[in-house]
Each structure stands twice: as structure tokens, then as C-alpha cells.
Amino acid sequence: MFASDLEKHELIDFLTESPTKEIFHHQNQEEYLHAIGKVSLAVKKFLNHNQKPFSGVTPAQLRPLFDAVEFEKTHDNYDSLLKEVEQLYTNHAVAFHHPAYIAHLNCPIVIPAVAAEVMISSINSSIDTWDQSAGGTLIEQKLIEWTCDQIGYSKKADGIFTSGGTQSNLMGLLLARDHYAATVLNHNIKLYGLPAEASKFRIFVSEKAHFSIQKNASLLGLGEKSVIKIKTDRSFRMNMVLLEDAIKREIAQGNIPIAVVGTAGTTDFGNVDPLKELAAISKKYNTWFHIDAAYGCGLLLTDKYRSLLNGIELAHSVTVDYHKSFFQPVSSSGFLVNDQKYFNLITHHADYLNPKDHDDDGLPNQVNKSIQTTRRFDALKLWFTLRMMGRDKLGEYFNTIIETAAQIAERLQADSDFELMNESDISALVFRYRPKIVATNVCAMNQYIKKAMFNEGKALVAGTKINQQFYLKFTLLNPLTTLSDIENIIKIIKKHGNEYVRLNLASADFRRN
């Protein structure tokens, strides 16, 4: 009947192969291990292939490859699939782990956290209710308790893991709004919507605060006009005199201060607002005090520089981003409050999910504290990290970052071709290339440098504007970045700056002729 034994075995394999072999299940363990193994090799290839932060690829170069993809046609094996993904993604993915990547607030990640990601994605717990997560709930709660302790909060404190700093800041402003309405206006926003007075609510932040404060004020129905930006001092920290003047002015105009927001680690400069003074002013005017420590939370890890956060324990709420300063994969963030009672302002009970009797039975449902329902078990990454490495090891990494940034600042100050704008509390340095002997458009030259560096891909830096002037920015979050790496980046900056000068001189000569 069969032409060969091979054909017989092929038919047996066809008949016995599971029609649902792709489903994560104990019967498909070999398929799971095969897939994970293939992907691990692809990641290894990514590490070996990407010897610079970026390939320099343009959207115009990549789009034709995507246009050719037809989802109706599938791959027969993982090798074929991964070859496609390599062409479309991994060959061009920006390598945050590379020492010459010093652009945005993207940190290299620690391997224990990567290992946890495999477990998180595979088991796929949802950390909204006890009956969907069990031990996962307690792991998250234990890590929240630990973070609250690092902040200096009492046992009344609580928190929740979030998707990122923007969501955490949203929760801080949400509680500030609803707490004021409940305690001062005797109005329940959750039930009745915004009170008439909401148009007068005002939130006070540094002019260097994260843009999410304005964005979230808009989402909360208060409008961006509710955010009052306070000018900073010469060190780019919120000016306390101007803050109190602004609060008094808004009160005189009939408006209502509901929140003061401090920043522990500004995005551009890495500086920390005077938190104790902010707490005192917030208390004086009976406002909610929120601290955005999405960047500066790494200071919680280091005894050497922890004093920069003195006063954080006085905040009603705090934002932390573990995926910025704790070397965790995205996403891994947290929102903490100094008293768990504040979460009652956003708690909703659904009979099918978290009925009220669960509270009576002592079942811990994290959804009671979250604006998300389904939520990844991101806490496991931090658990793996702390249990394998410990706080002190992470703190050593953060110490290195701060100290390297300070050395780079000295290096830039010593070079007459550079203009340094700040000394950073943490690791963000704003500067520009400005050779004294060259008369040219400095902003245009530095914009050219940034663009040329991105297209070349050998080193990536960020850019920002200060007083409408364009500057370059180093953001150090990699303990592997050394002064030697920075010297090479400085050479690249000067090379492209000099290119710009030559091109403009040639263009000027052409126009004269």
C-alpha cells in the first residue's frame, strides 16, 4: 500500500499531530520549548548583529517590505517567520542596551527580569482579581509594600503597578481632583460627574515637568488651562517664591488650588525639585501633593544619593517607573499613596468580577485600586530582579550612572567648543556644539548634528529646546557607558558639526558666484 516506510511514518505523524499544537498546553510542551528556543537564538543574533545603536533605516526603505506582507499566507516554520521579523524589525530595532545609546529615558534591562517575562507571557495571569492570579496578587502587594517602605511611607500606604508614568500621573491627578471634591465640596465625582467649580480647579507644576500633567488634566475634564506652570531657578528646579505667588494670584482671581506636583528627575535636566519646601507650601494651602519620580525613583536604590529625595515621604502620592531606573523591561511602573483609603475614590464593584462580599471575605482584588481591569503580571519582573540581585546591586548601577554623568559634565565644561546648560542631580545633560571660531546658525547646526547622527546610527543622542533655542542632550541610564564611549560620541558630534560648517561655506560660495 505504501511506496516506502517513510511515507507510512509521514501519514502516522499527520494523523497523530495535534490540530491545536499552537495552544499553550501540557500536551504541546515540545512545541513551546521549540518556539522559545528559536526566539532565544534570534535574540542572541540581535545582540551579535547590532554593533551600533541603530541601523539608520528610513520609513521609505522599510515600507515596501511591509507592503509585500500578506496575512492570508502563513509561514511553515519558525525559521521562516524569524527571518521575516529580522528583516522588518530586529535588524533595525534601536538597541537601548548599547553604550552609545544616550538619547531618551530608556534603560538597559537586567537578565532576571527578561527571564521573568517568559513566565509572565506564558502563564498569562491577569492581576485584577484574586481568582485570576492568586499568588501573583500577593507578589505584587509585597513589592508595593517594599516600594512604599523605600519611600518612607507608613503601614497605611498602598499602591498598584501601572503601565507607565503617564498612567501613574493620571491617577495622582484623578485622586487629587476627586479628593478635593469629596472633602471640601461634599461632591462625589464618581457618581455625579464634575462639579460646577471644576472649571476653577488649578494644578501647579514646574515649567520643566513632564507633559503628561497637561495631557492628563485635559483627560480629566479640567483642561490644559488648569495647569499653572511655575518658572524654575537657575538650576532648573521649581522656584518656591514664584510658586506661592502663583497660588495667591489664582486664589485672588477666584480659582481653586487642588494640587501641587513636584518632579523628582526632570526629563530634560534630571534635577529634583525642592520636595520638602513643596510639601510645606502644599500643606499651607491644603492641596494634594503629588511627586512624579518616574526618573528619580532610582535614587531610592542608592544610600549615597538617597538624600536628594528627602521630602518624598510627605507626598500624598508618588509615581515610580521601574522601567526607567530599576532596569526593568517595559512596562513596569507603580503608583503609590500614603494612605490606602484614597483608593476608595475610584473603587467600583462588579458582581461578576469583584463583588462587595469579596472585601468582606478578605479576598484581595487589585482591580479595586486600578483604572485598568485586565493587567499583566509585570511585578514578577521586579521580584526576579530583587531576589536574584538585590537592592544594593541595582543601587551600584545607579551610582555609576550619576557619577559618569558628573564626569561628562566636567569634560564638556572643559571643552571650549561646547556650551553646557546644566549640572544634573541624576544623569541628563543639556548642551550644544558651539565652536567659538565659527560664525554660523548654532541651532541649525545642532539640529543637523542630531539628524546626521540618527541617520548614521553609530551613536544616538536626544534634542530639546530651551528658550526657543535647540540643544543636544545626553541621557545616561546605562552603567556600561564609559567616558571612553563619550569621547567617541564627542568626536562624532564634532565631525557632523564641522560637516555642517563646510556645507554652509560651500553653499555661501556658490551663492556668491
pLDDT tens readout for residues 448-467? 999 999 999 999 999 999 99
Same domain, 84 and 205: no
Give the mean model confidence (pLDDT) for residues 426-443: 90
Last residue of a domain, one of 45, 75, 95: 95
pLDDT digits (tens, 9 = 90+) for 337-349: 999 999 999 988 7
Average pLDDT over residues 358-374: 83
- Please, which pLDDT band fits residue 367 given cuts at 50, 70 and 90? confident
Same domain for 89 and 139, yes or no, is no
For residues 445 and 500, what is the distance between their CA atoms, to the nearest angstrom?
A: 6
Q: Is residue 472 part of a domain?
A: yes
pLDDT exceeds 60 at position 2: no
Query: What is the per-residue pLDDT for 213?
Result: 97
Grid cell 467600583 in the structure block, residue: 348
Q: Report whether pLDDT(12) > 80.
A: no
Residue 301 has pLDDT above 90, yes or no: yes
Is residue 485 pLDDT above 80, yes or no? yes
Does 188 share its domain with 329?
Answer: yes
Within 8 A by CB and 6+ apart from 55, the residues are 91, 92, 457
pLDDT of residue 7: 57
Q: Are residues 294 and 190 in the same domain?
A: yes
| 335 and 402 within one domain | no
Domain-located, residue 500 = yes
Highest mean pLDDT pick, 201-205, 437-441, 500-504? 201-205
Asked if residue 462 and residue 336 are part of one domain, the reply reads no
Q: Which residues pair with 464 in a beta bridge?
A: 471
* C-alpha 317, offset from chain centre: 18
**For residue 420, what are the β-bridge partners?**
431
CATH number at residue 203: 3.40.640.10
Among 44, 72, 95, where does a domain finish?
95
Neighbours of 7 (CB within 10 A): 11
Amino acid at 64: P
Q: Is residue 502 part of a domain?
A: yes
Domain boundary among the residues 297, 332, 349 is at 349
Stretch 386-396: mean pLDDT: 98
Mean pLDDT of the chain: 93
> Which whole-number Å values give the CA distances from 63 to 60, 68, 87, 362, in the listed order?
6, 9, 11, 53
Give the pLDDT score at 16.
52
Q: Mark whether 295 and 434 lie in a shared domain.
A: no
Identify whether the C-beta of residue 127 lies closer than 8 Å to the C-beta of residue 310.
no
In this structure, the answer to whether residues 421 and 339 fall within a common structural domain is: no
- Establish if 177 belongs to a structural domain: yes
The pairing of beta strand 333-337 with beta strand 158-162: antiparallel
Q: Tell me, what's the pLDDT at 8?
A: 54
Question: Cα–Cα distance between 291 and 321 in angstroms, integer?
Answer: 12
Phi, psi of 205, rounded to the nearest 5 degrees: -140, 160
**Mean pLDDT to the nearest integer, 45-64:** 94
Clarify whether residues 80 and 141 are in a common domain. Answer: no
What is the Cα–Cα distance from 437 to 491, expressed in whole angstroms?
18
Q: What percent of the chain has pLDDT over 70?
A: 94
State which residues form the domain around 503.
Answer: 392-512
In a domain, 112, yes or no: no
Q: Are residues 168 and 231 in the same domain?
A: yes
Domain count across the chain: 3
**Looking at the domain assignment, is residue 480 inside a domain?**
yes
283 shares a domain with 170: yes
* Residue 226 CB partners (closer than 8 Å, separation 6+): 201, 202, 203, 217
pLDDT in tens, 136-189: 999 999 999 999 999 999 999 999 999 999 999 999 999 999 999 999 999 999
Residue 352 Cα to chain centre, angstroms: 33
128 within domain boundaries? no
Question: What is the domain-level CATH number for residue 482?
Answer: 3.90.1150.10
> Same structural domain for residues 484 and 396?
yes
What is the structure's pLDDT at 19? 75
For residue 487, with 0-12 CB atoms within 10 Å meaning exposed, 13-18 middle and 19 or more buried, which class applies? exposed
- Is residue 139 situated within a structural domain? yes
Helix (H) or strand (E) holding 464: strand 460-466
